[in-house]
Structure 1
């Protein structure tokens, strides 16, 4: 037997599709068989599986487990869970070689997909392409695997709480925090975690509901933080936290309702981590503010800019021994006293620890950050092949003009007062433009420069898709 996937679902960082249209149980079963074949050929025999709160997730999880068992793999099921729980289970359960989470992350309610880890490393790029090849060729191993079910929640919450070790308990008791789960899979963990945390905690939308009735669980969209802002204001709380649908991305607001973006959160974490790991390397993605890289260096750390994508950041951190990493999208990766995977719940605990250890409120730290003028991600619909050609054309023209730029992921063009970035998305048929300056006039000039380059390649910024 063979199986061919819809060409749109095998993505760079994970596997994603529209349930009932491009993705269904047969695909999940084939993914299980292909991944199980990879695990067996690598000498493994046991895989952990979890799923998020989407309506289609239990059905896809069932088919995935069938496929894994049919390849001879024993499966440990952890049930409804946040993605970091799956990563934790794969890292902590003895004799487990891999893991797969059924999750649609922050995507629309009718979407779903899979995130995987193999032998403690991110499973992405060529690995995902290889799953497609194995299925297309029917190059599957066969066997009869067994299935067991375990409850990982208590052990996971114990591990999260370790993020507060050595922090003054009295000062932690004084914190007041709002937590918005957005009806995603992180809700039950947040309930269990906050029941054991010091301080006062206000919980929003922790019941798991795949219809997402209150707001969509994407904390990078400010409109989705409105309920959190009201809770912080009404309760006069210190700060608020928001989570995406599977709990691996974090959003935050301070005590006066200002958004704390992913790179700004990373600046706070960097200050805390560098106290105990001086001169450590900290990675941020190419979309992050120049102010972040300057701040890391100012604190004595070694900033490194890297490609956008949670799997790419995780792999780079492991490769060079970085203690901390993050993305504008809200993925935060702690290798400092943790495992190096993206865990928004652990990041939340570490934010509590940081504000106490540094002796500064989250609001004060947000207030002290430099004022920068920047755009959100400006996205343009572009044919899949053409998007890479356009970036190459812009790069060639900038080289000819002697521009100063970073080419690690697209082109990030540096200027004395800021920068602009053009990159091709690895997950969608779009180009992404972002710019930042220390002045409004500088931002306008940088955008004009970027527009000029796009125009030379036949692209008009009027075709914006939005943030």
Structure 2
């Protein structure tokens, strides 16, 4: 059984195909999580449990609930909720030792997963994952004495009310209320339908879309422009000031402006940062988030982290940043929630619109123009592991980069090389090491301008090995990474418009 295990949790399919997430798997990982907490001194852990609205989630949550109780853990059951609500509940209540959210976030409906968080509401560090993984083979439902079986308490309403209060408390509420915004909200058939309450508390008229919680998704789960046709239509027909689109577990946000145009998901973090950052502040973004940040935030230090919520949060804490974010639309606002929080992001967009007394379209049009490229290459068997290991080695022994002719960029250290070779039709990734070699291909058309800009630079390219390989220079950048959640390589980059 092969599951996708990453720093935020594990995911698998529930339809009997592919990387299966079975009942046995859920029980084993939950039991191992409880065992890990007990090994850390929590004799009788108190755990917050929630799930999203996808079809398989209530059943998997019931399995997890039983496994937690039979392992001797006590339970605060949030029911159908949002990932940032679970994280906020754990962080604000010192009694809670950890959290578990049943969700596959933005993955398609046939996927589901487990997201574990520690006593601070953060996703588990890699050391914890290693410790839990070592317990999987021994994880069985123990025969507990009756007085050791855990107790459960419904906690969904208390957790949600505390979450929305924390968000609202950090806002210029009267400034936003005075604008009387009309908001179209695409809840992606999940818990984000409850965003209606804080939005109305901010004086907004809210029109709901895809709010039915029947276990199915009325659109693709990922909140990106390609999936927002219905929201765009609603914004236009209702003459809304802005459209907000969530993903199924509410940790990401996409935008539609008042003209009905979908805004790049890369711009969510830029606009949110403009709402809170002042000269001298620090903002954190991962290495593949738009470089429009630097241009849009004069006098503000932009710190780049590795990809993944845990990495962004750690950098926010280390650098005392006022905001952290990723180009996927996940925003971390410390006074509100130390987790990616779509509701927090939405309220910051309203804040910026009110502060500048400007429609969203005007704010977006004023941002530095970078043309984004996001492509996927299939990873051959063990290719992801080989590339990730090479990237890790190059973090301490940074390679060199050079152009080889008109259509090749070569990165290497004498022992291993990564080549990007292109012709009129294809881009070929070639990875060579002393004991292995593999290739992967994708159409070159979306990447041609970016590759040409990097090739034609006047100064040496900058190499950043924070997370994968990133080449920057001549008003362009390109990142190559092995995905943490799919058997693919990700090529992401931007070209500045001149």
Please give the alpha-carbon distance, in whole angstroms, between the structure 2 residues aligned to 1:317 and 1:323: 7
Q: Is 1:218 matched up with 2:216? A: no
In structure 2, the CA distance between the partners of 1:54 and 1:370, relative to structure 1 (3 Å rule), is: same
Please give the alpha-carbon distance, in whole angstroms, between the structure 2 residues aligned to 1:126 and 1:139: 22
In structure 2, the CA distance between the partners of 1:409 and 1:9, relative to structure 1 (3 Å rule), is: closer
Q: CA shift at 1:100, angstroms?
A: 0.5
Match of 1:87 in 2: 87
Q: Which runs of 5+ in 1 are unaligned?
A: 1-5, 441-467
Match of 1:190 in 2: 195
Q: CA shift at 1:305, angstroms?
A: 1.3
RMSD between aligned alpha carbons? 2.4
Match of 2:435 in 1: none
Match of 2:154 in 1: 149
TM-score, with length taken from structure 1: 0.84
Please give the alpha-carbon distance, in whole angstroms, between the structure 1 residues aligned to 2:461 and 2:175: 50
Q: Is the 8 A contact 1:19 1:111 kept in 2?
A: yes
In structure 2, the CA distance between the partners of 1:170 and 1:53, relative to structure 1 (3 Å rule), is: closer
Q: CA shift at 1:195, angstroms?
A: 4.0
Please give the alpha-carbon distance, in whole angstroms, between the structure 2 residues aligned to 1:210 and 1:422: 36
Q: Is the 8 A contact 1:14 1:113 kept in 2?
A: yes
* Bigger mean CA deviation after superposition, 236-245 or 308-317: 308-317
Please give the alpha-carbon distance, in whole angstroms, between the structure 2 residues aligned to 1:249 and 1:329: 7
Q: CA shift at 1:31, angstroms?
A: 2.0
* Bigger mean CA deviation after superposition, 107-116 or 384-393: 384-393
* Bigger mean CA deviation after superposition, 258-267 or 133-142: 133-142
Secondary structure, in 3 states, of the residue corresponding to 2:84? helix
Match of 2:275 in 1: 272
Q: Is the 8 A contact 1:324 1:340 kept in 2?
A: no
In structure 2, the CA distance between the partners of 1:139 and 1:182, relative to structure 1 (3 Å rule), is: closer
Match of 2:462 in 1: 404
Please give the alpha-carbon distance, in whole angstroms, between the structure 2 residues aligned to 1:28 and 1:400: 42
Please give the alpha-carbon distance, in whole angstroms, between the structure 2 residues aligned to 1:87 and 1:198: 27
* Bigger mean CA deviation after superposition, 381-390 or 97-106: 381-390
In structure 2, the CA distance between the partners of 1:205 and 1:139, relative to structure 1 (3 Å rule), is: closer
Q: CA shift at 1:262, angstroms?
A: 3.5
Secondary structure, in 3 states, of the residue corresponding to 2:304? strand
- 1:303-318 equivalences under 5 Å are 303-318=302-317
Q: Which runs of 5+ in 2 are unaligned?
A: 402-410, 414-459
Larger fraction in helix: 1
In structure 2, the CA distance between the partners of 1:116 and 1:20, relative to structure 1 (3 Å rule), is: same
Match of 2:367 in 1: 369
* Bigger mean CA deviation after superposition, 312-321 or 397-406: 397-406
TM-score, with length taken from structure 2: 0.79
Out of 10, 13, 22, the residue aligned to residue 8 of structure 2 is 13
Q: Is the 8 A contact 2:166 2:336 kept in 1?
A: no
